[in-house]
A and B are shown apart, each in its own frame.
Chain A
């Protein structure tokens, strides 16, 4: 077992006791909730006559079903309106703070926590959403939970868990222009497998990670779950502290920043920490990565040949055959030139301000290909507003992108933003599962935001390094 890692320290700090079944009971520092996975949990609580134990440590937003075009109430879709109304009632009754669309603070739950400064190093953070791993970018221990566990957390502010192993993934090398954090995590999942992280928490370390801004670190931690790891984290450092200092919370509580910094420093993994596994990856060799299949582990460099299923490990062959049939690709081809019908720039993986800025530099002065519908869904209302003030909204709209309101949108097709028929989508999101984007015949190609911009302009998957970036100034 690991020793002296951030994971060990934060776990021990939050451990209440060991339960009779051998699991540890952990205190939860922040519980984030949204409209899709929480209503049943509130229902279970009511059935048992229990109240929300710590509404002060719970924060709600609406993201999965919220329309991104017309947000006037009642929502056009009855089911969406019902879910929203249920959430409103639940948070009102329990006294839970709600970043709703009228607040200017609404957005994807994994974007707003960090924005508001409630995501902090050394906290335990849970949410009924698998991409809760995102918050690990701040050195928090953050993981997704199911609805019955949400009930547990609402009722007790604790969760029953087993401790896992820790794998340190050390990334070195300088990223080539056009290659981003997204490409690093897609490469990690390709190498270690979609199931490779089961039983592990991933610690992302090394000079490449240290040189990333918080948004890049979030993109990496976000997709830990796609590699099977329920949580991933990066050690807090000066980059983290600078972000924290600028958030509302610490603007309002500047004295707490000085009080907490020693705690944040103290949870960093020791230099002689013991890990259950260590993996090293040279990111300097990476090209932009795109997926050719229907799992996030089926990625390749933009000019690499799509593998023949027979050349893959036996356990991966069937999945690869089915994926290639679904995507209509052949071994030996590259994804460069794969026609797309839709370009989606959004999701908790890649819809933060720097993501939109980088994509805008590709888009500026160009036009979306005639037969492509392209749209930008900012990760939060704050991102949306900041991007508008910087002129990014105009850049995207002039190029022919639709500019939408914040939400999960086409990442999972729970609102009206969906693929139709067998459309192919260049997507900055995190999952290329069959049916994920709303159509069971839809085809998703995952890539970084600049690559999505390039695909939108060219009407096909293409190498963004072949396009000159334009200054936005």
Chain B
């Protein structure tokens, strides 16, 4: 696994994420909800540490906690850092535990047909790109990952391309996501905190405060 983050200059300590490179893992199916990504019983915690092992738990393990057939259980995908998914991935609950768990499992970027908004927002807050392409391109990429589990996928956020095995597909990156990742502005706390005077002015203008 290699994840190449060039250093950013916009906000101190926050790297830009122009580019993620690594091998892939295909997770097939539309409408994969965050309850499947991290079942609620694993959320009875006050930190995100250690969530990685519970990613997709009920799809990966049986009643006796024995591994089932699932890409994330396969030896060949253990080093994957790019998850290739289909449409409406991450729908349902807003739990940031979902991308936190996948990040802790080793994922740095998602390539898919489409993402639920809150999930994509949570990924951005963690510096993880969620880039999209059409159904056919994603299908081809998933098949290629099956055939080339060690092959590198280069997700270029700035150029909006995904390159793998000599193929290049153009992908869409939400404009704000691209700006935030490429400029290293994806950690918004400091950025917004700097606008304290304008925040107060807005508050003062609200009829209900």
Q: Give chain A's interface residues, CB within 8 Å of chain B.
A: 13-17, 19-23, 25, 27, 29, 36-37, 39-40, 43, 48, 50, 57, 64-65, 77, 79-80, 82-83, 86, 120, 122-123, 128-130, 144-149, 151-152, 155-158, 160, 162, 194-195, 198-199, 225-226, 228, 230, 256, 259-260, 263, 295, 297, 315-316, 318-319, 322, 412-414, 431, 433-436, 438, 440
A37 to B93, CA, bound (A): 11
Q: In the bound complex, do residue A198 and residue B46 qualify as a contact, i.e. CB atoms below 8 Å apart?
A: no
Chain B, residues 184-209, CB within 8 Å of chain A (1/0): the string is 01101101110110110111011111
Number of A-B contacts (CB under 8 A): 210
B interface residue count range (under 10 / 10 to 19 / 20 to 34 / 35 or more): 35 or more
Q: Please judge, given known A-B contacts A25-B195, A50-B189, A433-B92, whether A162 and B176 are in contact too, CB under 8 Å.
A: yes
Q: Please judge, given known A-B contacts A27-B203, A65-B44, A315-B135, whether A148 and B125 are in contact too, CB under 8 Å.
A: yes
Residues of chain A contacted by B30 (CB below 8 angstroms): 195, 315-316, 318-319
A315 to B29, CA, bound (A): 9
Chain B, residues 166-183, CB within 8 Å of chain A (1/0): the string is 000000001110011001
A298 to B115, CA, bound (A): 19
Check: B7 CB closer than 8 A to any chain A CB.
no
Residues of chain B contacted by A48 (CB below 8 angstroms): 189
A99 to B193, CA, bound (A): 28
Q: In the bound complex, do residue A158 and residue B135 qualify as a contact, i.e. CB atoms below 8 Å apart?
A: no
Q: Please judge, given known A-B contacts A120-B208, A322-B29, whether A435 and B176 are in contact too, CB under 8 Å.
A: no
Check: B150 CB closer than 8 A to any chain A CB.
no
Q: In the bound complex, do residue A20 and residue B122 qualify as a contact, i.e. CB atoms below 8 Å apart?
A: no
Q: In the bound complex, do residue A318 and residue B189 qualify as a contact, i.e. CB atoms below 8 Å apart?
A: no
Q: In the bound complex, do residue A156 and residue B208 qualify as a contact, i.e. CB atoms below 8 Å apart?
A: no
Q: Please judge, given known A-B contacts A20-B183, A146-B125, whether A37 and B207 are in contact too, CB under 8 Å.
A: no
A353 to B175, CA, bound (A): 44
| A259 nearest CB neighbor, chain B only | B207
Q: In the bound complex, do residue B35 and residue A122 qualify as a contact, i.e. CB atoms below 8 Å apart?
A: no
The minimal Cβ–Cβ distance linking A95 to chain B, given in whole angstroms, is 17
The minimal Cβ–Cβ distance linking A107 to chain B, given in whole angstroms, is 19
- Contact with B179, one of A21, A80, A130 (Cβ below 8 angstroms): A21
Q: In the bound complex, do residue B208 and residue A122 qualify as a contact, i.e. CB atoms below 8 Å apart?
A: yes
Q: In the bound complex, do residue B118 and residue A435 qualify as a contact, i.e. CB atoms below 8 Å apart?
A: no
Q: Give chain B's interface residues, CB within 8 Å of chain A.
A: 10, 28-31, 33, 35-36, 39-41, 43-48, 58, 87-88, 91-97, 99-100, 114-118, 121-122, 125-126, 135, 174-176, 179-180, 183, 185-186, 188-189, 191-193, 195-196, 198-199, 201-203, 205-209
A346 to B3, CA, bound (A): 45
- Contact with B206, one of A27, A36, A40, A147 (Cβ below 8 angstroms): A27
Residues of chain B contacted by A194 (CB below 8 angstroms): 31, 88, 91
Q: In the bound complex, do residue A198 and residue B116 qualify as a contact, i.e. CB atoms below 8 Å apart?
A: yes
Q: In the bound complex, do residue B31 and residue A319 qualify as a contact, i.e. CB atoms below 8 Å apart?
A: yes
A195 to B132, CA, bound (A): 14
Residues of chain B contacted by A16 (CB below 8 angstroms): 192, 195, 198-199, 201-202
- Contact with B91, one of A151, A228, A259, A318 (Cβ below 8 angstroms): A228
| A298 nearest CB neighbor, chain B only | B31
Residues of chain A contacted by B176 (CB below 8 angstroms): 21-23, 162
The minimal Cβ–Cβ distance linking B178 to chain A, given in whole angstroms, is 8
| A230 nearest CB neighbor, chain B only | B117
Residues of chain B contacted by A434 (CB below 8 angstroms): 35-36, 58
Residues of chain B contacted by A19 (CB below 8 angstroms): 185, 188, 191-192
A440 to B38, CA, bound (A): 12
- Contact with B93, one of A123, A152, A228, A412 (Cβ below 8 angstroms): A412
Q: In the bound complex, do residue B193 and residue A156 qualify as a contact, i.e. CB atoms below 8 Å apart?
A: yes
Residues of chain B contacted by A316 (CB below 8 angstroms): 30
The minimal Cβ–Cβ distance linking B129 to chain A, given in whole angstroms, is 13
Residues of chain A contacted by B202 (CB below 8 angstroms): 14-16, 27
Residues of chain B contacted by A319 (CB below 8 angstroms): 29-31
| A267 nearest CB neighbor, chain B only | B207
Residues of chain A contacted by B179 (CB below 8 angstroms): 20-22
Known contacts A160-B192, A199-B117; can you find 15 more A-B pairs with CB under 8 A?
Answer: A14-B206, A20-B191, A21-B180, A21-B186, A40-B47, A82-B44, A123-B208, A145-B118, A147-B100, A147-B122, A148-B122, A152-B188, A156-B189, A297-B31, A414-B40
Q: Please judge, given known A-B contacts A145-B121, A148-B126, A431-B35, whether A80 and B44 are in contact too, CB under 8 Å.
A: yes
Q: In the bound complex, do residue A152 and residue B192 qualify as a contact, i.e. CB atoms below 8 Å apart?
A: yes
Q: In the bound complex, do residue B185 and residue A295 qualify as a contact, i.e. CB atoms below 8 Å apart?
A: no
19 residue pairs A–B, Cβ–Cβ below 8 Å: A27-B203, A27-B206, A82-B44, A82-B46, A144-B118, A146-B121, A146-B125, A155-B192, A156-B189, A157-B203, A158-B195, A158-B199, A199-B117, A228-B91, A230-B118, A315-B30, A412-B93, A414-B40, A438-B41
- Contact with B195, one of A17, A79, A148 (Cβ below 8 angstroms): A17
| A145 nearest CB neighbor, chain B only | B94
A80 to B97, CA, bound (A): 17
| A124 nearest CB neighbor, chain B only | B206
Q: In the bound complex, do residue A436 and residue B35 qualify as a contact, i.e. CB atoms below 8 Å apart?
A: yes
A439 to B44, CA, bound (A): 16
The minimal Cβ–Cβ distance linking B176 to chain A, given in whole angstroms, is 5
Residues of chain B contacted by A82 (CB below 8 angstroms): 44, 46
Q: In the bound complex, do residue B36 and residue A433 qualify as a contact, i.e. CB atoms below 8 Å apart?
A: yes
The minimal Cβ–Cβ distance linking A471 to chain B, given in whole angstroms, is 39
A17 to B115, CA, bound (A): 27
